[in-house]
Amino acid sequence: MNRPPLFGGKHLGLALLILALLTSVPLPTMAQQSPSLLVAARKKRSTTKKQRAAPIKKAPEKTPEPQQAREEKTVDLTELDQQANSSESYNRLHDKQSASTANFRTYFDIAFSYRPGDQPISFENFHSTFLLEYTPLTELTFVVGLAPPTVLPLYYEMDWQITDRLTLRLGRIWVPFDQINPHNTFGGFINTSLLRAANQEAFLPDVWADLGAGAKYDLVRDDTLQIETHIYVVNGFGQGGTDPKGESSTYPDFSLPVARQDNNDDKAFGARIHGLYNHSVGLGLSFFTGGYNNQGTTNARITMLGADFQAYIAALSFRAGYAYMYVDLPLGTSRQSYTRGGLYTELTLRATDKWKLGILGGVQQNDNNVSDQNDRTIWGGKIEYLINHMMIVSLQYFKDLRQSPGKTNFDVALLRYSLTL
């Protein structure tokens, strides 16, 4: 269990240090789907001579957090509901940490799966994620994420809190578009690479992180309204995909391999704004644009727009998002561009402290000029049982309603166990 660092007034003696050691308390468990990499502002303590002369009093015991609150803060990296928390995609993986804090987290799952037309009934592992974060100073945090079998980290980021509202981000940063990290949900919430058939392509990367820099600014931050803004510049997508019409050799690759090198001088940039009112209603708008063609070839750009909405009413949570993409195709013969689109929707009910029910769905179309195995209209549901604040067992079923040439997999059924530490 993680413990916060100990601190005391800098003018107090050894007795206060010993007392702090005896009265330290553990950090609460990680906030559900709230990966804030920000760190708490440094607290200043001023003491008068009279106060320093007074007898030292033992700090009051911190009231343990109720079990239900701890359960609400459990993080499941495939779950994106986060009632009563900021729904900004950037704030998704970590708690705020104090100085000199090192923290290790892991996320693991195993599923007994039934996917007719794709593979035999089998045990599968979709997630084995390891996250290591270190806070050398209260205003500086570094985090790195690994997900075997990849050797290189999927994500690593340094966050420097320049002011109370402004944070600078450097590294392979999360791209703050919609609420899709840590996993792309467009198309029906099951489109990680391991759940796609071998002949299906990604709409967006499973984990969309890219080398670059960004800044986050809290525009409004009070008890009723929170508005966060993001701007960023990253390498962007490259070419390497296959034109399904077989016309153009310049076609973007949206899988975003970790080891891929940048292929042009044109950097991608984007912005996002998200507001949350009364911890109940959220609305976000996202923008991304950048060139994907190889250096020295005809310029080709990707421009992407997104909108997302969240509502949290009592035990009900609702989320929805839509993305529209315009892609230049300068070497095409019958077309000079094409569009892509995707949406998702999710309604969940926390029936009891232990049980949660969910209905999920989505649509994905990778190329509007082609009808193929990449087009999907997926609907399904899940039943979850919370064993404790670290373990969840769920039964999930999804069905692809879109009939397309070359598609063989239409059903996915999972009995799944997940562990978060």
CA 188, 189, 190, 192 dihedral sign is positive
Average pLDDT over residues 135-163: 87
Comparing CA positions, the residue from 198, 175, 195 lying closest to residue 187 is 195
The single-letter DSSP state of residue 231 is E
Residue type at position 397: Y
Q: Please tell me the distance from the alpha carbon of residue 286 to that of residue 304, in angstroms, as a whole number.
A: 8
pLDDT at site 332: 80
pLDDT at site 49: 37
More confident residue, 9 or 214: 214
| Average pLDDT of the chain, as a whole number | 78
Are 168 and 232 spatial neighbours (Cβ–Cβ below 8 Å)? no
pLDDT at site 97: 58
The full DSSP string for 294-313 is: PTTS---EEEEEEEEEEEEE
Ordered by start, the domain boundaries in the chain are 14-420
The full DSSP string for 108-176 is: EEEEEEEETTTEEEEEE---EEEEEEEEEETTEEEEEEE-TT-SS-SEEEEEEE-SSSEEEEEEEEE--
Which secondary structure element, helix H or strand E, spans residue 417, and what is its range?
Answer: strand 411-420
pLDDT at site 252: 92
Q: Quote the tokens at residue 286.
A: 């996202």
Q: Quote the tokens at residue 242.
A: 């296959």
> How many other CB atoms sit within 10 Å of the CB of residue 261?
8
Query: Cα angle at 399 between 201 and 394, to 5 degrees?
Result: 100
Evaluate if residue 201 carries a pLDDT over 70: yes
Residues 50-62 pLDDT 10s: 443 444 444 455 4
Residues 81-133 pLDDT 10s: 333 333 333 344 445 556 677 888 888 889 999 988 888 899 998 878 888 88
Are 47 and 11 spatial neighbours (Cβ–Cβ below 8 Å)? yes
Residue 196 pLDDT grade (very low, low, confident, very high; cuts 50, 70, 90)? confident
Average pLDDT over residues 134-153: 84
Among 46-55, 101-110, 229-238, 298-307, whose mean pLDDT is lowest? 46-55
Are 378 and 398 spatial neighbours (Cβ–Cβ below 8 Å)? yes
pLDDT at site 99: 67
Give me the percent of the chain exceeding a pLDDT of 90: 44
Residues 375-389 pLDDT 10s: 889 999 999 999 998
Of 8-17, 40-49, 65-74, 200-209, where does the model show the most confidence?
200-209
Residue type at position 223: D
Give me the percent of the chain exceeding a pLDDT of 70: 74
More confident residue, 112 or 150: 112
Residue type at position 57: K
pLDDT at site 195: 77
> Phi/psi of residue 279, each to 5°?
55, 25
Q: Domain 14-420 is in which class?
A: mainly beta
pLDDT at site 235: 94
Residue type at position 130: F
pLDDT at site 180: 73
What's this model's pTM, rounded to 2 decimal places? 0.76
The full DSSP string for 316-343 is: EEEEEEEEEEEEE-TT-SS-SEEEEEEE
Residue 76 pLDDT grade (very low, low, confident, very high; cuts 50, 70, 90)? very low
Among 143-152, 205-214, 290-299, whose mean pLDDT is lowest? 143-152
> Phi/psi of residue 23, each to 5°?
-115, 15
Residues 9-45 pLDDT 10s: 444 343 333 334 334 433 333 333 333 322 333 333 3
Comparing CA positions, the residue from 215, 216, 214 lying closest to residue 233 is 214
